[in-house]
Amino acid sequence: MKKIIEAIEELRKRIRYHNHRYYVLDDPEISDAEYDRLFKRLLDLELRHPGLVTPDSPTQRVGTKPLEAFSEVKHRVPMLSLENGFSDKDITDFDKRIKKLLDDAPDFQYTVEPKMDGVAVELIYENGSLSVASTRGDGYVGEDITGNTKTILSVPLTLTQPEEGKPIPALLEARGEVYMETEAFEALNIKRLDNNLPAFANPRNAAAGSLRQLDSRVTAKRPLNMFCYGIGEISGPGFDTQYEMMLALQQWGLRVNRPHLKICRTIAEVIDYCHHLEDIRKQFPFEIDGAVIKVNQLKLQALLGQKSRSPRWALAFKFKPTQETTKIIKIDVQVGRTGALTPVAHLEPVQIGGVLVKRATLHNQEEISKKDIRELDTVIVQRAGDVIPEVVKVVKSKRTGREKKYVMPARCPVCGTKVVKKTGEVVLRCPNPDCSVQIKESLKHFVSKGAMNIDGLGDKIIAQLRDKGLIKEEADIYGLRFEDLTKLEKIKEKSANNLLQAIEKSKNTTLAKFIFALGIRHVGEHVAQLLANHFKRLENIQNAAREDLEYRKGKGGAKDTGIKGIGEEIARSVVSYFEDMSNKQNIKRLIEAGVYPAEVFSALSSPAAEKTFVITGSLRAMSRSEAKDLIQKKGGRLSASVGRSTDYLVVGESPGSKLQKARDLGITTLYEDEFFTLLEEE
């Protein structure tokens, strides 16, 4: 018997070790199959010797028989909530309040960490063993969810004693957030819908629903996870700082979001880091809805104390919500510059992340069918950054039976031409190149800022000029006369003159802008720049064959061909654009009208060539769009956000969170004068 007890203990020890490596450290040492074999050996032994099963055995994570109801757990230390802040001012006010209360206290720091959007849970470890797990409840009394929590594989059933570091306390109440990763949540919902069960509205609801299962075998099947962020009661000597406490929790085997926990020395640093977390929130595999700011020194936390429901030493900086619920009033289609028909949902207006959203794209018919989106449906709408809002899903429980299915029209809603769908494409297109919307949209694109940049030639003027038959294609813009313009509504002499001047000025342009202005399908600003840098002259681009464009890696030591960044689809599109007779004619007319796309001379020799720049803060010498022009002239590109492909971050006055991000990624930063020096170099 003694041998069996030892064997069981040894197996448990090994399995616990591998659990910790896999679920907490995310760094497994053995294969899944090997782990399964260890686990099965333990299960077999326990099955043959049921008297030897202990509650902290790793086999006990699979859930036990259902409970009648949850019993209550009284929290020794109340589980408080957090005060919310929504703006930079709320953060600085919080800082001022603290400094005032502490009467200009000695030096102290803040910790800032992500605020997970899940369910608060307390884990009580007695002599290193998990004895009770409970929900927050009303903050004073929660529900006993021990059985369910034991099924969460990143929650250790026993704590580990680190070789160096604090001894495991006799009593430890660790607190944290139980959540479900976004991908697991989506997979769970697909399974539920397949089984005719209602989908969970968001990962938080899924986590809460999973934790509140009376049958822990159900919970065991749900992929839950936990991060710890604090403690309640602890026996023995405590810690000096919040940060130290988090490190100790981690050393004892609990899961802590270490990589994103940061000590900030000033409130400006706090604000910067909060924005940084907001910027990268989409990169987390789970949802975060804010950042939690805490005074690092525990003595000061104690001095500051608490209000009725929240501590004075912490603040939750809430990110702007990116999803809201609203209703689809009707669905119609929009025709774009390339003739693509896009279904659009007109919504009951709703504020999302500080912007009033009235419309959302439904992408295409396939998307509508897949999500079963109907007119009058209640839907969840999402807005992420600058992208067009989209419908995430339908709240089917809100259906009344009056909703109407939508089918894309068979004809272009503008010109009535039968729409076509190319094999392999999901997009419907109006094939008529004379369709008035396509022409109007092409003209709008042609004059836009990143293209020919004709200031003052807005949508309304273009529409009037078209209606009066004054412009049919791009080159006609350059034939406009003073008398043509003053005939238009709301155009006085002065603005007519200004407009003529802007048209004249636009003739002098870069090759990249000119190529972009043509509106070749798949040729955005970046690709236009690549083409300009590579071919240097318009004629070279016009004469390029597919092999000159499409990038192919040279095999067996042969040289690469084509242009890096240009694939088959773009190459095809460019070639067929320049082969088209009417396009050729249009370009000829533009050149004859005096449009002069300057040849690229210096771009490739400049150290800025083919480099990606991002600007944070404001530049003293020029506006952002002037800086963009300058970068492009040298063959570089300006991007809006910092990422791994960024080469230089240009730091202007009052830089934002991009600076921190660039530093985190090890990206070279340039101050304004260094930036200009770089651009001047040949």
Question: Where does this chain bind ligand IVH (CB under 6 A)?
Answer: 80-82, 113, 115-116, 120, 136, 177, 229-230, 292, 311, 314, 316
Tell me the Ramachandran region of residue 267: left when phi exceeds 0, alpha when psi lies from -120 to 50, beta otherwise: alpha
Q: Which is nearer to ligand IVH, 292 or 571 (CB)?
A: 292
Q: What is the DSSP string of 159-178?
A: ----SSSPPPPSEEEEEEEE
Q: How far is Cα 441 from Cα 457, in angstroms, rounded to an integer? A: 13
Give 478's contacts (C-beta < 8 A, 6+ positions apart): 503, 507, 590, 593, 594, 595
Q: What is the DSSP string of 203-250?
A: HHHHHHHHHT-SSHHHHHTS-EEEEEEEEEEE-S---SBHHHHHHHHH
Q: Are 273 and 261 contacting, i.e. CB atoms less than 8 angstroms apart?
A: no
- Between helix 459-467 and helix 436-447 the angle, nearest 10°, is 130
Give 613's contacts (C-beta < 8 A, 6+ positions apart): 631, 636, 637, 638, 639, 646, 647, 648, 649, 650, 675
Q: Which is nearer to ligand IVH, 84 or 543 (CB)?
A: 84
Shortest CB 116 distance to ligand IVH, Å: 4
Residue 330: beta bridge partners?
346
Q: Which is nearer to ligand IVH, 57 or 148 (CB)?
A: 148
Q: Are 10 and 18 contacting, i.e. CB atoms less than 8 angstroms apart?
A: no
Shortest CB 82 distance to ligand IVH, Å: 4
Shortest CB 13 distance to ligand IVH, Å: 31
Q: Which is nearer to ligand IVH, 78 or 567 (CB)?
A: 78
Q: Are 154 and 24 contacting, i.e. CB atoms less than 8 angstroms apart?
A: yes
How far CA 295 is from CA of 108, 237, 238, 277, in Å, comes to 7, 20, 16, 18
**Catalytic residue list:** 115
Q: Give the 3-state secondary structure percentages of the chain, helix then strand then coil, rounded to 5.
A: 40, 20, 40
Q: How far is Cα 143 from Cα 73, in angstroms, rounded to an integer? A: 6
Shortest CB 137 distance to ligand IVH, Å: 11
Shortest CB 96 distance to ligand IVH, Å: 20
Q: Which is nearer to ligand IVH, 229 or 319 (CB)?
A: 229
Shortest CB 99 distance to ligand IVH, Å: 20
Q: Which is nearer to ligand IVH, 116 or 159 (CB)?
A: 116
Shortest CB 118 distance to ligand IVH, Å: 7
Q: Which residue is nearest to ligand IVH (CB)?
A: 120
Shortest CB 146 distance to ligand IVH, Å: 18
Q: What is the dihedral of CA 197, 199, 205, 210, to 10 degrees?
A: 40
Q: Are 667 and 616 contacting, i.e. CB atoms less than 8 angstroms apart?
A: no
Residue 147: beta bridge partners?
none
Shortest CB 199 distance to ligand IVH, Å: 24
* Strand duo 648-651 + 612-616: pairing: parallel
Give 591's contacts (C-beta < 8 A, 6+ positions apart): none
**Structure tokens that stand for 507 in this block:** 């003739």
Give 388's contacts (C-beta < 8 A, 6+ positions apart): 360, 361
How far CA 413 is from CA of 53, 122, 226, 363, 587, in Å, comes to 71, 59, 52, 17, 29
How far CA 272 is from CA of 264, 293, 354, 576, 660, in Å, comes to 10, 12, 20, 48, 7
Shortest CB 598 distance to ligand IVH, Å: 54
Q: How far is Cα 152 from Cα 177, in angstroms, rounded to an integer? A: 12
Q: Which is nearer to ligand IVH, 124 or 414 (CB)?
A: 124
How far CA 160 is from CA of 168, 230, 340, 503, in Å, comes to 8, 18, 60, 73
Pick from 530, 511, 541, 535: nearest CA to 611: 530
Shortest CB 294 distance to ligand IVH, Å: 7
Q: Are 339 and 352 contacting, i.e. CB atoms less than 8 angstroms apart?
A: no
**Structure tokens that stand for 610 in this block:** 């083919």
Residue position matching structure tokens 């992340």: 353
Q: Which is nearer to ligand IVH, 316 or 608 (CB)?
A: 316
